[in-house]
Amino acid sequence: MSCNQAGLKEKICAVLKNKKEGITTIQIAKEVGCKTAKDINKVLYSLKDEGCLYKIQDTPPIWSLNSPERSRPPEVRLDHTKDDVRSLLTSKGGGTGVKSSHIARELGQPKKVVTKILYDLQRMGQAEKLGENVWKMNAEAVTDVEAVTNAEAVTDAEAVTNAEAVTNAEANFRGKPIQFKSDYQDISIRLTENSRFSKDFELLSVLGAGGFGCVTKARHREDGKEYAVKIVKWTSVASREVKALADLEHPNIVRYYTTWREEAHWEDRSDCSAKSSVQSDITKDSEDEGDGSTYETDQSDGSDSDLSEKDQANLSATDSSSRNGDWLCLFIQMEFCEGGTLTTWIHKNRRTKDKAHEIFQQLVQGVDNIHSKKLIHRDLKPDNILFGSEGIVKIGDFGLVTTFNTGTGESMYRTVDKGTPLYMSPEQAIEKRYNKKTDIFSLAMIFFELLWNMSTEMEKHVVFQDLRKQICPNDFCKEYNPEWKLIRKMLEENPASRPDTKQIAEHLKLLRGSLNRPCQATV
């Protein structure tokens, strides 16, 4: 439901009266009870034109009733403070973690600044949120602390490290830029003249982009084949994705070929204030369509009970200036899936029970292979499910993959709220202990979507909220009663009560038998 225009100006002014230092568009939207940023932006700029309020910061926009001279907060050197936060987490975090308020007191910095830094470190895989306001250093990041010493410009040990070379960055990055533009994004990645990517590949298109990477469609100059090449800033999280891909070889998983590192110069001129995390927190999930692979911007952690901290994370996510500069990047060469995403397939094809079963069975086989390698995908959704050249289902985007290899099969402590809210299991959204059964919940949501047509995003949002509580439309229960019995089991609140992938596969065989035809391998 969008905000009514009538009275919105008065509400905004009333909110800003109590926020002398100003607040972001996201915070204003939540304060006045809106679920879209579009209406807020229009009214804010209207008030600005009328001289009723001021935009005291551009990226991200911060609004105040006071003039910039009276409202502008003092500048803080984030690069210096970020090193202090990292050092404090390493020395005092231990297994129990440190509260963000304690870090702020220790460093003598505002909590907003410390919170922003913590979420920056989390997105780079260096920090982990254990619970409400409690943080610790990521175990992998602690061992790599010497390799990643500057979150603003991660560089290779043999690459440019002195201020003079950084000043002359433009002279080093003379290669043809990789550019991606959309309504909300304007990203340019300039490569070096000796770039391996430029030498070995012909860039055909950019399939999608996010705050920390993009996916390109490129033709190899030697073999003439087309590949998806994912370019991401090097972090421990990116390295984890590569290790997972290298260990997975299955017909229903996007094939990994190789990876390499090289430097690139990033310029992000995106105006993320109207979209960014407002899309996931205030409205609905974004569903970017691509024809080969997808890359989603990172979701922010946080809890509704700590609004100021979550808003600060959103502010950090939209601060494109902090992502600009020279970065050491990973180039990940993968299979190009020309059949597009499951999202596109759902929107463009007439679904039948046969097709739904064919697709879902292949999806379950792929997830079974992932789990057999002691891995959890954590972000299964139609955007991350692709189709190969012969219509074979391929699971992609392992950016949130993690291990569950504890030796005992027990659940592990993990970062909460990582994934896509509509498809995410309850334990993954609110708890820090979960296991591979979190993927089963996501599979259930996808199986339902394969079977049931929802004509609008609003209808989907309403139906999915009920479905998460094991409530389905009456007509679905009647038409797909055998499938609903399986889906309902997969949606059990207690993860231990959900079937595993092998049990689901057996159940699907029984359901396929009732259709009196063999299962096809492709769609």
- Tell me which residues are annotated as active site: 379
Task: Return the structure tokens found at 73.
Answer: 């907060």
SS3 217: strand
The gap between the terminal CA atoms of the chain, to the nearest Å, is 37
CB–CB of 212/195 below 8 Å?
no
Beta bridge partners of 186: 181
DSSP string for 296-345: PPPPPP--GGGHHHHHHHHHHHH-GGGG-EEEEEEEEEEE--TT-BHHHH
Beta bridge partners of 169: none
In the DSSP assignment, the letter for residue 341 is B
What whole-number distance in Å separates Cα of residue 137 and Cα of residue 86?
A: 7
What whole-number distance in Å separates Cα of residue 66 and Cα of residue 149?
A: 38
- Looking at this protein, which amino acid is placed at residue 9? K
In the DSSP assignment, the letter for residue 3 is P
Nearest to residue 421, comparing CAs of 454, 465, 385? Answer: 465
Kindly report the backbone phi and psi dihedral angles of residue 382, in degrees, each rounded to the nearest multiple of 5, phi listed first.
-55, -35
Contacts of 69 (CB under 8 A, 6+ apart): none
Nearest to residue 293, comparing CAs of 417, 399, 438, 439? Answer: 399
Report how far apart, in Å, the C-alpha atoms of 34 and of each of 4, 175, 205, 304, 335 are.
9, 44, 36, 15, 42
Q: How many residues does the chain have?
A: 523
Task: Return the structure tokens found at 254.
Answer: 């996007």
What whole-number distance in Å separates Cα of residue 44 and Cα of residue 29?
A: 11
Task: Return the structure tokens found at 292.
Answer: 């080969």
